[in-house]
Amino acid sequence: MPSDTNANGDIFGGWLVSHMDMGAGIAARRRARCRVVTVAIESLKFIKPVFVGDTVSCYAELLNVGRTSMHFKIEVWSLSISEDLSKKVAEGLFIFVAIDESGKPCAVDR
């Protein structure tokens, strides 16, 4: 939406990061089968701009599972209405920790 744009009229990077975090969080919660929290974004790279009206898709790949943590590679692809091919626009490494009801780290594989 236009309210999600930066001064250049492209989608604001913070909007994109929040959607990457939500996508990775969904994957982490499904894997851990409990609450999870983002503890770090180890890397983040914006490759190409995302424009208003583009369709944006986030893909999560589980790279590593520790006792309480999970590392996910997130790729973001966008598709413009005027193009036939999607293009990769961002990627990052997000780390999540599984937590129990009291907010304490818990084992991913219980």
User: What does the alpha-carbon distance between residue 10 and residue 107 come to, in Å, rounded to a whole number?
Assistant: 40
State pLDDT tens for residues 17-45: 999 999 999 999 999 999 999 999 999 99
Contacts of 10 (CB under 8 A, 6+ apart): 49, 50, 51, 52
* Residue 7: burial class (beta carbons within 10 Å; 0-12, 13-18, 19+): exposed
Q: Give the position of tokens 């999870």.
A: 36
Lowest mean pLDDT among 2-6, 53-57, 66-70, 103-107: 2-6
Q: Dihedrals φ, ψ of 53, to 5°?
A: 100, -15
State pLDDT tens for residues 59-94: 999 999 999 999 999 999 999 988 889 999 999 999
CA atoms within 13 A on the CB side of 56: 23
For residue 8, the tally of other CB atoms under 10 A from its CB is: 9
Predicted pLDDT of residue 94: 98
**Model's pTM, two decimal places?**
0.92
**Distance spanning both ends of the chain, measured CA to CA:** 41
Using 50, 70 and 90 to split pLDDT, how confident is the model at 110?
confident
Predicted pLDDT of residue 109: 92
Predicted pLDDT of residue 9: 86
